[in-house]
Every structure is written in structure tokens, then in C-alpha cells.
Amino acid sequence: MKRRVTVLDYLEENYIEIPEKTAVSDENGEISWGELRDRSRALSEGILRKSGIGEKKIPIVIFMKKSITHVIAIYGCLYSGNFYVPVDINTPEARLRSILETLKDYKVLTDGKNLERLKNIAEDKDILLIDELLSGSADDAGFFETERRLRSITDSSLMYIIFTSGSTGTPKGVAVRHRSVMDYIESIMDEIGMKREDVCGNQTPFYADMSLKDLYMTLASGAELCLIPTGYFSFPVKLLQYMEEKKISFCMWVPTVYRIVAQFKALSKVRPQSLRTICFSGESMPVSVYEYWLENYPDIDYWQLYGPSEITGSCSYYKVDKNRKYEDIIPIGKPYRNTGMILIDDGEIIPVSDTGRKGEICVYGSCLAAGYYNNEEKTVAAFSSLPGELGYDERMYHTGDLAYYDNEGNFVFAGRADYQIKHMGRRMEPGEIEAAAESLEIIDACCLIHNRQKDDLILYYIGQGSSKDITKSLKDKLPSYMMPTGYRQVEMLPLLPNGKVNRKELDAKENGNGKEG
């Protein structure tokens, strides 16, 4: 049996076994596995021919709309022996500059539609146009150079960097190796699985780690990846009609999307017939929303997945028991094989028998990211040595998430240990939003609080600006999903004895308790 080292091994297998089968589709067309492999390799040859990177392996920023071309860009970067960095095309200029400054030595791969946005941000010599790279003529020299670069990739080579929110206002680049993704693919396929005849309906943008499930489960199984137009997720009936048209059978979405469908009772109008598996990821699925879907689809499988970017996608899974009545929350389950998860409280590892006792989730194993790219300080703070009784010279990641064990040994999510928040399925640091707000002349001081019941981002602030003025100014500084959804103008922010803002007091006003989740 041939050993798989990178995800490209799966693509090469699909190229041989199912070259004519649809690999990826979007609203504009589709591409087969054979075409995807050939165009990705052609792009690799173009990158190596035009970039002038020589022997170096560098980050290649992918700056384009989610599409079939974007998927080609991902695999083309990997074939070239480099690692890719997907970035939101709507990223404000200041944030994009910060990302590029963190990367230092890089190239940006874009298309003609987004080239103008990069002017005055990246130098011309660092910008690669995918249209030009794919239009170049193939030759033996380019083929052999791609082959040579491929052989230089090991499972410890970096595969991608995904940027998350940073507490100081500076984004953090989570760097992940090939081995972590390969381990993840095998883990999630072993437990949840995906069939070659499945059609996976993609919701998550490629610059978010949740998209790894869609990209690489379809790659490993040979299933079709269907890129659902982003706008459809705001119109549930239109979304369901598209699912019916495309015969989508597999969905891995944030609970917010499932909630919108339930809120509008959209399944009473359109009920896609091909659906067989639903996964919730990014946050805990509200029980009432799950029950709505279960009522309409009593015979399909439901899975709750959990895991931050730093552990490559997800580290635990839970197959929802359709015969069980869940009172408050659905568990996040147990770790995948080859993944370790423990709870730590005051430096002590909580035994599984100590049910109900909350501790911080810490994760270890091949799933761990390499760290934060070019940010040793943050890496050291988040990744520490695993307790000696569990392993020798191993690392573990401190998630900052709290959980406890139930009577079946499942992990049950219990909120955040710090003030990091999850909004619409995305983790973010209030500090980054606050830093952007406090950079405005109309704001003197502020504090962001997450209203968990409504999933609103509430900005408490001291200043003279109106909510309309603040929103207008912040649009140039923050991505849309990080924009405050409500404002509270106050004369004073409550302070702790050390002079820091008393977040717990403000959180209690919004949520009725002192725990941020």
C-alpha cells in the first residue's frame, strides 16, 4: 500500500480512479477530478516559473472569492511545495497590512477582479495573477520542477496558515503541518465518514478552519464539493431550493445557519430529499434548533463537532442520540483516535469520574498546529508541556474553553475561561474589536460584551460618537462578522481595583451572570 504523506496523494488517486467525476461545483459550473488535478499542477508550474522564489518554501496568500478557481489555487500552491494563506477579500486594508507584515516573505495569488484592492498594499513583484499563470504553456522543465518540489515535502512541512483574531488587535496566524491535516482527515473519515456519491454543501469560507472538513473530506472520499453561494444563507427558502437542485446530502455548518432555517420554518416550504448527514460545528447547537431539524429529518445522522483552529479543524465528535431528550446542551463528545483531551483545574488533571467539575480543555497529539507564525511569544503562551505522566516531551494546547464530564465520559462545553468569544460560529478576541474602536477619535474608551442569548456583539463605550458614526468608521477597520451589532453609550466603564475594566459586571448586565462563553 502506497503511503500518503500529503493531501495531494488523495488528489492523485482520484485522478487515476475517478477522473471524470465532478470534484467541485459552484453557481457558475463544475470541474472534474481529472481537470482539478491538471489545472492545479499547471498552476504550480506557473508559480515556480514566475515567482522567482528559488529553493525557498514561502507562504502564498490566496486573495480571491470562494470559487472553483480558489480550490485550484489551494492545490496549486501545495503542488508548488509552498503553503497557502487564505484571506477574506473584504478584509480591511489595515488588517491585511498586518497579516502581510506578520508573514514577512510572501507572494499574493489573486485574480483580475481583486487586483486593484492590493495596490499600495503589496508590491507588484509579490503579486501573482492566477489568470496569467494558468495561461502559460506547459513544458517538461515545469513538470519536472513541480515533481522535484513535491518530493521535497515531508509531513512536517507547513501546509497552510489561517489567521484568527488577536487580543492586542494584531491577527494571529495559526500554522499547520501536513501531518496534522492527514491525521485529521483519517480521524474524521473513520468516525463520521463520507461516501463517494455524497454531495457536500459548503457554507464556511476558505479563510476559516471549519472549511477543512468540506475541502479534505471530499478530497479523501472522492465526493463532490458544492460551493453554495454565500448570499443564499440569508434566505433560507432559496438555500433549501439550491440544496434540492444540487442534491446535497452532507452539511457541516455553523448552528446559526440551521437556526435561521428553523426560525423561518423554511422546511415546511422546501424539504431537500437527498440530505443524510448534518454536522454542527463552530459552536454548540441549540437543542431547540436540533429538535426542529430532527422533526423534519428523523432518519438522518446528526453530529456535534468541537475544536479550535490550533488543533486543525476539530478534536472531538459526538453522534447525537435521537432517542435521548437533551435538556440544555448537546455534548461535544470524545476525542478522535490519536488525539488526547484532558480537563485541567488549578493545575490538576480532572479524572473522568469527577463528573460536573469544570476545567479548561487541553489537547495534545498530531492534531496540534506548529504554532503562531512568526509569533513566538503567543506560541509559548498557548502551547505548553504536557504533564509528564501523559507523555515524554510532548506539547499540549490550552484552548481557553471550559468543559466538564457527563456520566458517559463525554465532554460537555461550558463556556470560555477568558474573554474570547464565539459569534456566529467564529472565535474572536474582543481586544481586536476594542482596539479598532478606540482608534476612532469619537471613542475615548470601550469594552465589547457578547450577548449570548441573542448572539449580539455589544460595544459599551465612552465618547461622543453616535452608533451610526461608529459603524460607518469601523467598516474600514473590521471584517463584517466582527462588527458590533449593538451599542451602549455610558459615562463611565466599571473598573476593577487594578484599574482594568470590570468585564464581568458588564457581562452580568447583558447575560444575567458573570461568565462569558
- Domain boundary (102, 134, 153) is at 153
- Domain boundary (153, 178, 208) is at 153
Task: Kindly state whether residue 190 falls inside one of the protein's structural domains.
Answer: no
Residue 348 reports pLDDT greater than 90? yes
Task: Kindly state whether residue 487 falls inside one of the protein's structural domains.
Answer: yes
User: How does pLDDT run across 306-334, given as a tens digit for each residue?
Assistant: 999 999 989 999 999 999 998 778 999 99
Residue 515 reports pLDDT greater than 80? no
- Domain boundary (153, 175, 207) is at 153
CA 268 – CA 247 distance, rounded (Å): 18
Task: Kindly state whether residue 128 falls inside one of the protein's structural domains.
Answer: yes
Task: Kindly state whether residue 462 falls inside one of the protein's structural domains.
Answer: yes
Q: What is the pLDDT of residue 438?
A: 83
Which CATH number is 447's domain given?
A: 3.30.300.30
Number of helical (H) and strand (E) elements in the chain, helices listed first: 16, 27
Task: Kindly state whether residue 247 falls inside one of the protein's structural domains.
Answer: no
H, E, C per residue of 286-352: CHHHHHHHHHHCCCCEEEEEECCHHHCCCCEEEECCCCCCCCCCCCCEEECCCEEEEEEECCEECCC
- Per-residue pLDDT band for 514 (boundaries 50, 70, 90) equals very low
Task: Kindly state whether residue 321 falls inside one of the protein's structural domains.
Answer: no
Collapse the DSSP code of 151 into the 3-class scheme (helix H, G, I; strand E, B; otherwise coil) and give the result: helix
- Tally of domains within the chain: 2
User: How does pLDDT run across 87-120, given as a tens digit for each residue?
Assistant: 999 999 999 999 999 999 999 999 999 999 998 8
CA 345 – CA 347 distance, rounded (Å): 5
Is residue 289 a contact partner of residue 262, using CB atoms and an 8 Å limit? yes
Domain that holds residue 474: 429-511
User: How does pLDDT run across 473-488, given as a tens digit for each residue?
Assistant: 999 889 999 999 999 9
| Sheet of strand 107-110, all strands in order from the earlier edge strand to the far edge | 127-129, 107-110, 59-63, 83-86, 158-164, 172-177, 371-372
Task: Kindly state whether residue 52 falls inside one of the protein's structural domains.
Answer: yes
Which CATH number is 65's domain given?
A: 3.40.50.980
User: Mean pLDDT for the chain?
Assistant: 92
Task: Kindly state whether residue 412 falls inside one of the protein's structural domains.
Answer: no
pTM score, two decimals? 0.86
* Least trusted range by pLDDT, from 247-251, 255-259, 341-345: 255-259
Which residues lie closer than 8 Å to 311 by C-beta, 6 or more apart? 339, 363, 367, 368, 369, 397, 399
Residue 516 reports pLDDT greater than 60? no
